[in-house]
Amino acid sequence: MADITQIAAVSRTEFGKGAARRTRRAGLVPAVLYGHGSDPVHVSLPGHQTLLALRVANALLSITIDGGEEKLALPKQVQRHPIKDNIEHVDLVIVRRGEKVTVEVPLVVVGHSGDDTIVIVDQQTVALQVEATHIPADVVVDVAGLEAGATITAGDLKLPEGALYSGEPDDLILSISVPRTQAEESAAEEGEAGAESEEAAE
């Protein structure tokens, strides 16, 4: 089961930019909970605790509002300050135990491919359908010993039990290649430049 972070929230009754600034100055983060046909609920979350919790991808939160009913929620959108990286606002979607959700799960590449090869990663994350309380932290892709020309597709991934990939089995995840030499890169650049010149002449 996924780790659940308990967070005590308080209701928000003031809205607008000024109210949001006052909330953040008080060390809180403005947030909205929505989903399952319910009206959006505006709350304030403890800033530091929320920042720590959301360092984990797809963090599952147990939100208690004004000491009342618990609501399980996943972060849908997190707005951060462009310079300070503080969290400025969070959209949270309400989920239920046993409910299937679609989330983007990070891919982690481990192992060393064959000598003089490089790993070209086509996807950094994969979209998985999983139970809300069983979201994996990541999906490991082992490239140990793979030689140039080898590929790994979505169908090759070892997914956690019960998880389903949302795309097609032949979706490319990564490939093993050899680095191009400086001469090959120069020839490729010259070829691209020549093609652009021909197009311009036409």
pLDDT at 24: 81
The answer, yes or no, to whether residue 201 has pLDDT greater than 70, is no
CATH number at residue 171: 2.170.120.20
How many domains in the chain? 2
Q: What is the pLDDT of residues 120-136, one digit of tens each?
A: 999 999 999 999 989 99
Residue 192 maps to a domain: no
What's the mean pLDDT in 38-67? 90
Which of 6, 77, 76, 10 is closest to 43 using CA atoms?
A: 10
Residues spanned by the domain of 163:
101-182
Q: Measure the CA–CA gap between 128 and 166, rounded to whole angstroms.
A: 6
Q: Are residues 35 and 72 in the same domain?
A: yes
What's the mean pLDDT in 95-121? 92
Q: Are residues 86 and 157 in the same domain?
A: no
Residue 105 maps to a domain: yes
Q: Are residues 45 and 71 in the same domain?
A: yes
With cut-offs at 50, 70 and 90, classify the pLDDT of residue 195.
low
The answer, yes or no, to whether residue 145 has pLDDT greater than 60, is yes
Q: Are residues 86 and 121 in the same domain?
A: no
pLDDT at 184: 57
5 C-beta neighbours (distance < 10 Å), count? 16
What's the mean pLDDT in 15-19? 77
The answer, yes or no, to whether residue 183 has pLDDT greater than 50, is no
Residue 68 maps to a domain: yes
Q: Are residues 132 and 153 in the same domain?
A: yes
Q: Measure the CA–CA gap between 187 and 108, rounded to whole angstroms.
A: 34
- What is the pairing mode between strands 164-165 and 125-131? antiparallel
CATH number at residue 43: 2.40.240.10
pTM above 0.75, yes or no: no
pLDDT at 12: 84
pLDDT at 100: 92
Residue 188 maps to a domain: no
